[in-house]
Chains A and B, each alone.
Chain A
């Protein structure tokens, strides 16, 4: 049941990424609008299907379904869709939609590689902290994924010369026009990063408190902990950098932020997968 719903949401997200792509590339205003709505709608349907799948699994397993690679990847895809849709609603732009949807598709496809049978929790994970720690971390990861999507779009637009044009543009243009778009994309990116920074921070802290309750050490420099801190510091650099960009000789702070978001997202991916498959440590069961 849960598995079938995941398959349907996978299909819906694929559809969403295509529809968003049409929305982004379309020249005609009418077409752009229709496909924009369709994109949001399909992503929303996928999100609802996934929510149902997660809740059903929660019910079946009698515990939060966030304890292994399969479950966490599903949670990752779910958080990406959720956070993207919220930011889309707030900022009213759909230009990062195709990339966000593709990231969610990749997460579900990656989940299919892992064992999806429901297993009993090992003693170390039998704690309420599991819910708080994993949920906050993954909301953080997903926000960074969305910020990376927005940054990729920003760099593409810049590469096509649309950013230069924006500096000369007149005020009073529509949100979807290239000029406003670049500005909005920047706040979109920055907002997603701040949100992710807060949540990853809370995730690291809940992890530390949990470790102290379970093992008596809030910080043991295990590779997963260390890499989550590395990721957090990268975004801390981005957040503090705007005060001193001039003193480092950086003129284009927006491009710096976009690059920082993408580098940060690589660190997220490494924290999430690299540590599990390349390095080893306390988190070896997840």
Chain B
């Protein structure tokens, strides 16, 4: 019996069979996503029946499945038996011994690493000291290191100029091209694939038309001016000023516009409506007041593996614990029109209009605190970190960010009126006389209506203003049959232009990032090192690798922590493998040749 087993393990035939058997799950693991962060996704993709089969076969974590590990162990035993069985102390066997011994060392080292190794992740804020790291994905737990780690400083080294390009996607043909931003330069629009190889032969033609980078605005501001006519637009509007606290802000409200004008410093909103009859004034005011009842920002939190999301207040200062988890969330900031300066990483609001509303939250969990921005219009953008929660910022768009609301009503058969709505209730109504100020409750501000428009013509124009907040933008000219037309593109804002989706993309070019770490053991600082991606800090059997960082405020650093006692064995195995192959393939034939010629 024992001899039979031994013979079974000795055969090269078994090796071939094992190789083929290992290939199958290896391939499956590259096709099916392994350890998906959201396991409910599997049922969605494969349906409940296949999901059951795949789960039973261990396809979702196939490389750590016992059945796969058994295959590897069998390959190890097979190699061991084969080598031992053919063991003859002869020079020509040397190479084979080395490769096979190398393979055994690698498999053994891997096994030791899997059993005795530790892999964790730690987030440290600048100046903070910690000895805790989180293990695994969500709630697998926290492990304590036998010493403490301090993050002295985190440094991000960037290239001065951001990387920028114009990305043009031909929606119909599904072709994309990227172009360098260079004022005055003209490029061919996305072309069919065969054009490029043909142009290698020196032929040049352009079947699609061109796009020109006409003007580059590093600090663009869009200025909208209003005129009465010449187009009969039918758009009614009122131009007004808000006065008070040594500020005079000139603006306008449009009757057809969904969002009111918002004067952010005092949270004053101004809306305008043309109505048919003076009799409905009171009703209009009541209606406007009613929309305030739902005028709150909300934060929807979904915990994976739980179906129903929970909704919390998203007002600045709101702080709550997420039920059923170790996480708590605090709302830090709100901006109506998010924009980030790529060099200073300062977040500001491009305008007071809610074009891109975002809130900043601090999520505190087992791995420390992490700050991130959540966008109401881009629910997918926030998935930046290792936080296993899905956060959604829900807004009641119409009255967001407004505390005092001034409604200008203009009845067709009577005089216009100002109505002030405070705390969601009608407060004061007064007849509107052009040029005469109207007190907006106790806000300290007054409003003056200057001019009414029946057919307002809005003319947006891009200007480069270095004094204002400004945001990069470009003007492009599209020429593909017909007369060339120009369009404006804000950086980071995908825009559809005549069947092409265009985006002026800017990205900070990161040269490198470093963390200065100190190891504190027994109350004493015993090691210090500036680590970067390819250069970890090693201490006490643990290695600390630069992994991620706080991309917004640069206040924390994410470290991969690893302890793997199997690595020396694996490395030794690598060396034996390489040396063995060289011996078998190139030294043995030389020796054989030399012997032959001697004989």
Whether A205 lies near B534 (C-beta < 8 A) is no
Given contacts A127-B534, A217-B119, contact A195 B23 (CB under 8 A): no
* B521–chain A nearest beta-carbon distance, Å: 20
Chain A residues with Cβ below 8 Å from B200 are: 7, 10, 108-109, 112
A175 to B217, CA, bound (A): 69
Interface of A is mostly: helix
Q: Is B201 an interface residue (CB 8 A)?
A: yes
Q: Are A226 and B26 in contact (CB under 8 A)?
A: yes
Q: Which residues of B contact A215 (CB under 8 A)?
A: 545, 547, 560
Is B511 a contact partner of A120 (Cβ separation < 8 A)?
yes
Q: Is A279 an interface residue (CB 8 A)?
A: yes
Give the contacts of B548-598 with A (CB-CB under 8 A): 560-562, 564, 567, 570-571, 574, 577-578, 581-582, 585
- CB of A173 within 8 Å of the partner chain: no
Contact flag A237-B19 (CB < 8 Å), given A120-B509, A127-B534, A198-B585: yes
Complex formed: what's the CA distance from A77 to B23 in Å?
28
**B582: chain A residues within 8 A (beta carbon):** 198
Contact-residue size bin, chain A (C-beta under 8 Å from the other chain) = 35 or more
Max count, chain A CB within 10 A of own CB: residue among B193, B513, B577: B577
Residues of A within 8 A of B535 (CB): 213
Contact B574 A209 (CB under 8 A): yes
Residue pair B534, A213 in contact (C-beta under 8 Å) = yes
Chain B interface: which of A17-25, A27-35, A241-249?
Answer: A241-249
Q: Which of A112, A198, A240, A279 contacts B31 (CB 8 A)?
A: A279
* A198 CA / B99 CA spacing, docked (Å): 11
Most buried by B among A129, A210, A244: A244
A58 within 8 A of B: no
Interface segment, one of B8-16, B333-341, B375-383: B8-16
* Residues A230 and B581 in contact in the complex (CB < 8 Å), given A123-B510, A221-B34, A244-B12: no
Q: Which of B501-550 contact A (CB under 8 A)?
A: 509-513, 532-536, 543, 545, 547
CB–CB B30/A195 < 8 A:
no
Number of interface residues of B (CB under 8 A): 55
Given contacts A227-B30, A230-B27, A233-B19, contact A195 B585 (CB under 8 A): yes
Partner of A123, one of B16, B532, B567: B532
Distance to closest chain B CB from A146 (angstroms): 16
CB < 8 Å neighbour of B16 from A10, A120, A248 = A248
Q: Say if the beta carbon of A45 comes within 8 Å of chain B.
A: no
How would residues 1 to 18 of chain A score, 1 for a CB under 8 Å from any chain B CB and 0 otherwise? Answer: 000000100110000000
List B contacts of A205 (CB < 8 A): 574, 577-578
Kindly provide the distance from the CB of B149 to the nearest chain A CB, expressed in whole angstroms.
Answer: 15
How long is the Cα–Cα vector from A279 to B16 in the complex, in angstroms? 27
The answer to whether B20 and A237 touch across the interface, beta carbons within 8 angstroms, is yes
Q: Which residue of B lies closest to A119 (CB)?
A: B163
Q: Say yes or no: is A194 at the interface (Cβ < 8 Å to chain B).
A: yes
Q: B485 in the interface, Cβ–Cβ < 8 Å?
A: no
Q: How far is the CA of A117 from the CA of B164 in the complex (A)?
A: 13
Q: List 25 A-B contacts (CB under 8 A).
A: A7-B200, A108-B200, A109-B197, A123-B513, A123-B534, A124-B533, A124-B534, A127-B534, A201-B577, A201-B581, A208-B570, A208-B574, A214-B533, A216-B119, A216-B545, A216-B560, A216-B562, A221-B29, A226-B27, A233-B22, A237-B16, A237-B19, A241-B16, A248-B13, A275-B30
Q: A215-B545, A223-B30, A237-B16 are in contact. List 14 more A-B contacts (CB 8 A).
A: A7-B200, A123-B533, A124-B534, A195-B585, A208-B570, A213-B535, A214-B534, A218-B567, A226-B26, A229-B26, A230-B23, A230-B27, A236-B19, A241-B16
